[in-house]
Amino acid sequence: MKQFNVPIIYKSPLIAAIKQKRKREDKMKKDFTPTLLDFGNLRIYLARHFGFCYGVENAIEIAFRTVDENPGKRIFLLSEMIHNPHVNEDLQERGVRFLQDTYGNQLIDFEELKKDDIVIIPAFGTTLAIESKLKNLGIQIEEFNTTCPFVEKVWNRSEQIASKGYSVVVHGKPGHEETRATFSHSAANTPTIVVKDLNEANELGKFIKGERKSSEFHDAFRGRYSEGFDPDKDLQRIGVVNQTTMLASDTQSIADYLKKLMMDHYGLSETNIEARFADTRDTLCYATNDNQTAVSTMLNTNADLAIVIGGYNSSNTSHLVELCEEKFPTYFINNEDKILSETDIMHFNFHKKEEVVTHDFLPNKEPVKILITSGASCPDALVEGVIRKLAEIFKADNKLQTLLQEFQKS
């Protein structure tokens, strides 16, 4: 896989050594067990896969190279580069300005742009309407488009099944940049609707089966279907694609449910289901799958708690938190400074969208066993920072250099 030139401030010698060792020992990526960092009175179990994915590294490399190679030019980001505050702040400190916030609200009017300005398209991609608007202003976006190739793969798959007469069901968060972009690209070719979870897929199923009147459809899915969507006609042949950062298991559950529904409703079997349902399993992102599988495997560890590191508005990170919460007290933080002391931690409750402080978060026992992972937009340097902070609390930071040497040798 291509190697990217990511700024050194995001790198970690310790994490790099751990990842290289695991890669050498498990080239086919079949071993999803966590890596043990044994500090004696503290044991950290680090997920097999975590941190920057291909799409994020590609976006970061393009963005920082663009800044370095274009001194004196005005450089704008369409919206957040990725969902990590540290990366976005670093770019802003270099003079990059945001045109929109993460929800698509305008911060700087497009009309203020000039032909020779640079506009970077973020890793999530953007809508066809925004692409067209920028091009009409004379902005050249092709060279500075950092859209993740796995997001583009979803768009291409949507276009393929659209050409065969299928409507598209997008599993995603309706307000998320990537889902807005995928919806736009899909809706240009075929009737498209967004569902955020299995419950909404069940509601959609009621319209397919005729259990709910088609006149109720537009209120039930207001703002999440393409113009002119006709539930009586457009739900007869469907395929499911996803926002690549959703829980892969959730996307599969939605696809399995809708596939079985179509089989039962139309009296089809596995051999002729394609008459009504398109196979789109190949749109699931490899990095999302790997990170989520690594966490699921890590949950078999006899640990005391879990710490998940990443941006609070990061979809893929919040899903890792969801997985960890199924079994352990879980703390979602965006950097080591949120570990306030040996007793207190400030963390994000993504269910309520607020930061809270938990006291006595570390159990009074030895050794304390902690699971650690991070989202796909989280720099490895932040993960090492959390490990160092915990090691300091347990007065074991003197062992970090020894651990680094051990992983570099093996």
Check if the beta carbon of residue 315 is closer than 8 Å to that of residue 245.
Answer: yes
Residues classed as catalytic: 178
d(CA 87, CA 10): 9
Phi, psi dihedral angles at 58 (to 5 degrees):
-60, -45
Decide: 95 and 136 in contact? Cβ < 8 Å.
no
Of the candidates 410, 403, 386, 373, which has an alpha carbon nearest to the alpha carbon of residue 48?
A: 373
Question: Which of the 8 DSSP states describes residue 295?
Answer: H
- Cα separation, 91 vs 241, in Å, equals 32
- Residue 332 Cα distances to 302, 315, 367, angstroms: 20, 12, 22
For residue 230, what are the contacts with CB-CB under 8 A and spacing of at least 6? 191, 214
Three-class SS state of 177: helix
Cβ-contact 282, 161 below 8 angstroms: no
